[in-house]
Structure 1
């Protein structure tokens, strides 16, 4: 989760700002129906079906007038339930490149016994929609379907607008529809740029329906690449009654200790430099000044090093400044009364844009500094993370529209320390941006956890904002 960008002093101005809600339109009832159907379609990897969700969304698009020639439902024989959908609304221009709207249909697992409400029944309560996927990412998926329906009935646009709804974003080991499209149907999704999840706003801790206020909106411009590595040690073992220092578990533990104590060097991209400058100015205080100093001074300079000491005390900012790797799983040994013959650990890395997985593998081997510890790649292998440009033709309309919808609320370009399917589009030359518009609370609104929810005002305002944004880009 992002840290609050504003101190109590500078927060005062932002608290005066509330979103300028668009006037209600007659399509809201239809939108709610699309959203409800999508949330109530189980799309977990264990028991759900993205293919069914895609087919149901295709039915809405066909009802809106899209012919079969403009709708592509796809899946593979090996993954029949992990299918997706691509829809194309042709523009009038033969030269303007299309834009692509991307969202994922799959959701994180949700056990009914753990939830207060049925995770696959959309429930509106206390100003929020509850259910698995209400925020991540079926809010955006439903908005994009609704946008395509509305655009079909509107005046023709200059640009072609494409929609891709895919499966597999929430699982690194399963079939990924965005990756499959990028590798197998590149022409179908070809676009000048794509709009995706990853951006959005944060409140001061309460939803707007609860008296809270927005403190920022962000535009995701780039993300880290996720890659897992395996640390492993091997040993002849022997009887536990005759222990020796040469122990596979001890050797692995020593290697993990060296990883714990290692910090990858700090680095900045155009996105993160702009982020620290703008977010630091908004935050103020000693931390805000240090953030601005990072943006203003060369890496390695005394001023940068001094500022980094303070900024590193914030775990989110620390992660934005570098590649990070952390041990997440352990295994080892084969019997209670035997010396271990093998010990292993999974190390999860979030790689700063521009570095290959092989480069980080080599760096980890140096950190381990022990030839008895192997460092290997754990499939699947992610592509190189490439940050798109801070293109004013793309960033500008987002900022302008945000000023209309969210007056007084700072808009900050940001690099995600997590991951989205945008990395697969970037790999084939389609710059991908996480859009503002929706918002959540600092506690994460239960995303990936229990009782996931999104504020009704966030969903409906985000719907209006994103429709206007797509129209602004395409007309």
Structure 2
């Protein structure tokens, strides 16, 4: 999913000029058709097909001049609808390692009866595109595919080889994941010095003013745990102290009360350092104190009143599903819950489990990792060779809008690439609404002007990276 940018606290703004009412350039008209085709191809897990969507994008690449040898489709016999593609535009300098453009083409489920509009028809209304995937992540998938089409049509000869990977499965942790499959089975296809992905972006205020830009440099890892209490049970007319539901409730309270320690990466230290200056006051002072001493409990308490700051500082674990008992008139034999953890970079699944076990402190409670077991998060470097061009191109397209590095408190497919040594950066450029664009919820939307402006920015940015 596209991570929410954390820089809404910034005070700087920039002028906003609506693009929805403008006459489209010919290249924008062609892009809109590509975007519409991708969005209207249903890629939900239940009834959709990423394989079909990848084939349609591959056909557009071929129409632009890409050869069969430059496009690789991939899928498995067990998951015939979860296919994807990798396309390659070869560079002129073999000494320079390739770059990779990554986007997922699967989307979260959407029920027509719940939506105001058909979620699988692209509808342009009042300056917004409405549809499932209009933002997450078909906006980026369409922009990357369109950029490759334009590069070939223009006869552009990059110094650095540019690769494109469109993958399935990012939105469903228990399903086939194309990025993970490529990393494990065809790493040579996606081998790159770095990858550009979702996770960054920009934030607008409710009036449409550009508040900030953000570049994701690192993310948390997601891991689910099963917490369970078991008991022989018995007749409910003869209750005993050993009750699986009560024991689970006590364990869940322990999880609720446990706070993982505050930590910083280079990215989050840079983010909080700038944020402290922008917010000022008591919060700014508390952030500054916490940067100097992460064990400062008073400062931690103040900073953690902001849910975004709280999550950015540490590993978080929260109960998300609950089950228990088997009959109204029987003592429960089993009670369990799912604990969803977002693990801070550098920490592991096992150390997180160990911390929860210690917090629960009850040998009768069983705590196990729930498959899939995902890689640990490895934060990429806050590299000036990556951040510098993004900032320079942003100043051209969005003058005066500040840009900050951030660590996503969510997770993307980038974690699978980082596990094989490819640093992944969530690029800025596509501005989102303050309410998160309805992503994963009802009536998902994308501001028309944001899409076209982001497309122009990212096209220029890829060219800068590919030319050096």
CA contact (8 A) 2:5 2:201 kept: no
CA distance in structure 1 between the partners assigned to 2:111 and 2:425 by the alignment: 32
SS in 2 for 1:15: coil
Return closer, same or farther for 1:171/1:260 CA change in 2, 3 Å cut-off: same
Shift in alpha-carbon separation, 1:34–1:105, aligned structure 2, 3 A: same
- Distance, in Å, in 2 between the alignment partners of 1:410 and 1:231 is 43
2:113 aligned with 1:121: no
Q: Which residue of 1 aligns with 2:379?
A: 387
Question: What residue is the counterpart of 2:205 in the other structure?
Answer: 204
Q: Aligned in 2, Cα 1:464/1:318: closer, same or farther, shift over 3 Å?
A: same
The corresponding residue for 1:262 is: 258
Where do 1:324-339 residues align within 5 Å? 324-339=316-331
For the Cα contact (< 8 Å) 1:19–1:407, is it kept in 2?
no
Q: Which runs of 5+ in 2 are unaligned?
A: none
Match of 1:397 in 2: 389
1:16 Cα shift?
A: 4.2
Q: Is the 8 A contact 1:43 1:50 kept in 2?
A: yes
| CA distance in structure 1 between the partners assigned to 2:14 and 2:196 by the alignment | 29
Give the match for residue 148 of structure 1.
Answer: 148
Distance 1:18 1:400 in 2: 19
For residues 426-453 of structure 1, give each alpha carbon's deviation from its aligned partner in whole angstroms, at most 9, with x where no partner exists: 0000000000000111111111000000
Take 2:142 and 2:14, find their aligned partners in 1: how far apart are those partners? Answer: 30
Structure 1: distance between partners of 2:14 and 2:113:
41
- Secondary structure of the equivalent of 1:393? helix
1:163 is matched with which residue? 164
Structure 1 CA distance for aligned equivalents of residues 289 and 97 of structure 2: 39
Match of 1:298 in 2: 293
> Does structure 2 conserve the Cα–Cα contact (< 8 Å) formed by 1:273 and 1:294?
no
State how 1:168-187 maps to structure 2 within 5 Å.
Answer: 168-187=169-188
Query: C-alpha distance in 1, partners of 2:396/2:281?
Result: 28
SS of alignment partner, residue 27 of structure 1:
helix
What are the within-5 Å matches in structure 2 for residues 6-155 of structure 1? 6=9, 11=11, 14-18=12-16, 25-154=25-154, 155=156
CA contact (8 A) 2:429 2:458 kept: yes
CA offset digits 1:246-299 (Å, max 9, x no partner): 10110110000111111011111111101101122223332233223333x032
How far apart are the structure 2 equivalents of 1:382 and 1:235?
Answer: 31
Q: CA RMSD in A?
A: 1.6
**SS in structure 1 at match of 2:429:** coil
Aligned to 1:214: 210
Q: Corresponding residue for 2:466?
A: 474
Alignment of 1:211-290 (within 5 A): 212-290=208-286
Contact 1:397–1:469, Cα closer than 8 Å, also in 2: yes
Task: Please state how far the C-alpha of 1:15 moved relative to its aligned partner.
Answer: 3.1
Alignment: residue pair count: 461
How far the C-alpha of 1:24 sits from its partner, in A, is 6.4
Q: Which runs of 5+ in 1 are unaligned?
A: 207-211
- What SS does structure 2 have at the residue aligned with 1:28? helix
Structure 2 match to 1:323:
315
**Runs of 4+ residues over 4 Å off in structure 1:** 1-4, 19-25
TM (normalized to structure 1)? 0.95
Cα distance, 1:3 vs structure 2 = 5.4
**CA distance in 2: counterparts of 1:221 and 1:67, whole angstroms:** 34
Judging changes above 3 Å, is the alpha-carbon distance between structure 1 residues 24 and 118 closer, same or farther for their aligned structure 2 residues? Answer: closer
List per-residue Cα deviations over 1:364-421 (Å, max 9, x = no partner): 1111100000100100001010000000000100011111111121101000001100
Please identify, of 87-96 and 146-155, the stretch whose mean Cα deviation from structure 2 is larger: 146-155
CA distance in 2, matches of 1:401, 1:191: 22
1:189 is aligned to: 190
Distance 2:398 2:287 in 1: 24
2:446 corresponds to which of 450, 454, 469:
454
Q: 1:40 to 1:188 in 2, by over 3 A?
A: same
Distance 2:264 2:76 in 1: 40
SS of the residue 1:299 aligns to? coil
User: Paired residue for 1:209?
Assistant: none
By how many angstroms is 1:4 displaced?
Answer: 5.5
Distance change (3 Å), C-alpha of 1:391 and 1:16: closer
Instruction: Give the Å deviation of 1:19.
Output: 7.1
Q: Secondary structure at the match of 2:229?
A: strand
Contact 1:116 1:451 in 2 (8 A): yes
| 8 Å CA contact 1:18, 1:406 repeated in 2 | no
CA distance in 1, matches of 2:276, 2:354: 34
**SS at structure 2 position matched to 1:30:** helix
Contact 2:14 2:211 survives alignment (8 Å): no
